[in-house]
Amino acid sequence: MVDTTSRISFTVTFGNPRVTPEVTRDVCLLARLMAANLYFSQIEELMFELSMWRCSDELKARVLKIESLQRKEAKHYIEFWKHIPPSEPFRVLLGDMRDKLYNTRERMRLLLQNGKSDIPIEDTYTDASQILEPLELCYRSLCETGDKPIADGSLLDFMRQVSCFGLSLVKLDIRQESDRHTDVIDAITNHLGIGSYRNWTEEQRQEWLLSELRGKRPLFGADLPTTEEIKDVLDTMKVVAELPQDCFGAYVISMATAPSDVLAVELLQRECRIKKPLRVVPLFEKLADLEAAPAALSRLFSIDWYLNRINGKQEVMIGYSDSGKDAGRLSAAWQMFKAQEDLVKVAKQYGVRLTMFHGRGGTVGRGGGPTHLAILSQPPDTINGSLRVTIQGEVIEQSFGEEHLCFRTLQRFTAATLEHGMHPPIAPKPEWRELMDAMAVASTKEYRSIVFQNPSFVEYFRAATPELEYGRMNIGSRPSKRKPSGGIESLRAIPWIFAWTQTRFHLPVWLGLGSALKQALQSDPRNIATFRRMYNQWPFFRVTIDLVEMVFAKGDPRIAALYDDLLVSDELKPLGEELRQKYNETRDLLLKITFHDEILQGNPSLKQRLRLREPYITALNVQQALVLKKMRDQGLQFCALQNSSKDQSDIPTTPKRAAELVELNPTTEFPPGLEDTLILTMKGIAAGIQNTG
């Protein structure tokens, strides 16, 4: 069965400087305030509806107990509700709930406003079970006295809402990089004088962490030397300890590589006095980390302390974005497929129920695509009635922005999850695996030879795409880079994909695939028949190829050539020509293995929709390329003027002088109007080529 007890959760990612422990605390309090306010309105509606006097003895006893407490008269209700007669027992009980919900809402408001509240916590609700218990009492009473149709109406709907959303409305997942936890533990071990944790081997780390987890001594106090980054991690843990536990879901470790990453978070949760520790979810992202993930999980499960801690349940997250940036779309997809198979085998070996958490993005380069097909293409036995999937910010509105869209999205997830369980996809045949392994090696080799090993690539990428401008503008959910310096490896996956999407070149999706297909066909011409069988019989391979084909339908190398002509220096243009040649070769090879005469031959409706959008997107591309050229030319002119003149007064006065334009709009380094135009074209292009499949 599908896990219907799951709650919607939002991930608080501490790679964003605007996401602080204080912001996390305020978000949780605000969510609880909103939940209490919504439930308060629902209770008042039920009070109007449940006016009957007939009730069960159980409910009568509860009402007598409430009246005996002689609760203080509330002054914040309309005249009608100031005095509820004892002859209306349901209203007496619901009125008592209403008072507590009012106090709950006001306590959250005061905590948000002043950081403290004089409302006693005993007069409020702190857990959803406290709301459900009297509602269930009302339900039982109605059923016993012959009013079950009324019980199954608004009351049952309200009970389901409380069960689903709780008092926290949504759960927050905390997400932090493994290196930050290493910094904290390293500071602790250095402070204790036992060495540098960062320099220890994995075995030493595990041994020390387990010895501390099995012990009870505190590791540090207020005298622990901290940096801003270390303080941020510890303060986040303290916020988790301070707030009710139903506010939080999982603690996700980005860039997890080893068992010590998980054990370190477990130890920090204990040290920060989190009464009910969050479940710890390792996120394996890069290709090497995905390969090592099954061994890391096996080592974790072999630890008795950890196996007792998880109580037979484990969640593992796999990252589509960074794995694709690391090795290319084809290699990343295949490695994630194999990693899931191996992770499930490890979990079964230790009797653990494993839930896969898919860190998908909105675009194909970040693992996006049609939901139904994406779920059905997962390996057999990896979805046992439940899964978790991220819905990224760039697509959340089109999936959940309206009620009917929300219903259809949840319907697709539910239907695909059920279908995967009842009709599992076939496992790949040994010869298919062998062919995919060889293709992945060839694909990764070509991808990395260009992206990471070509000395001209980074300079070309930044010249031929709006990546630099995107990073400087405040339109992303996070800074474009994990570190201010560095090349592609430090660039976040979103701007990496976004920049190539804007130029309609989609390089991260197809680069490496052409080389893999070419090598496979050259090594054995009979592989063309093998590809045909794989495409017809294996959902994973079909979905992978179809998504790349869809991207080719959206792409246009002529647009990429326009950006090159306007923005790229002459010495870098040959690289662009080489990449466009690879683009065309890959497209031709893709058609060859799918036996299509043209792109999207098997999906004419999508092809027609993209044709209708084409003129509008192309106009935006031309406008964007011209705006980028003007912005960069004026930026160079301004820099040249600054460098050639020691005194700003020596800069010639002209109506179009860049300095004057910048002064008119002090919030941006770009001339006024140009940045707004660039943002409009960026959003327009992204909307125009969003996944329509």
CA-CA distance, 89 to 50, in Å (whole number)?
9
Question: Which residues, 6+ apart, have CB-to-CB distance to 354 below 8 Å?
Answer: 314, 315, 316, 343, 344, 347
The mean pLDDT of 422-427, rounded to a whole number, is 86
The pLDDT-based confidence of 670 (bands split at 50, 70, 90) is low
Angle between helices 178-192 and 228-242 in degrees, nearest 10: 100
- Assess whether pLDDT exceeds 50 at residue 4: no
| pLDDT at 645 (0 to 100) | 52
pLDDT tens per residue, range 600-611: 888 888 889 889
pLDDT greater than 60 at residue 164: yes
| Structure-model confidence comparison of residues 175 and 479, the more confident one | 175
- Catalytic residue (one of 100, 171, 286, 325): 325
Q: Is the pLDDT of residue 281 over 80?
A: yes
CA distance 253 to 231: 17
pLDDT tens for 36-65 read 999 999 998 999 899 899 999 999 999 988
Burial 42-60 (b: 16+ CB within 10 A, else e): bbbebbeebebeebbeebe
Place domain 9-165 in its CATH homologous superfamily: Phosphoenolpyruvate/pyruvate domain (1.20.1440.90)
The answer on pLDDT for 146 being more than 70 is yes
> pLDDT confidence of 2, banded at 50, 70, 90?
very low
Q: Which stretch of 87-101, 167-181, 189-203, 462-476 has the lowest confidence by average pLDDT?
A: 462-476
Residue 474 confidence (pLDDT): 58
Per-chain mean pLDDT for the chain = 86
Domain positions in the chain are: 9-165, 171-318, 430-633+658-689
pLDDT of residue 216: 86
Please state, for a pLDDT cut of 70, what percent of the chain lies above it.
85
Per-residue pLDDT at 693: 37
Q: What percent of the chain has pLDDT over 90?
A: 62
Whether 325 is a known active-site residue: answer: yes
Residue with tokens 């509700």: 81
Distance CA 450, CA 507 (A): 11
More confident residue, 544 or 393: 544
Confidence of residue 486 (pLDDT cuts 50, 70, 90): low
- Structure pTM? 0.85
pLDDT of the residue at 692 = 45
- Cross-strand partners of 474: none
User: What mean pLDDT do residues 283-311 have?
Assistant: 94
Q: How far apart are CA 352 and CA 344, in angstroms?
A: 9
CA distances from 29 to 115, 127, 131, 171, 175 (A): 10, 14, 18, 12, 19
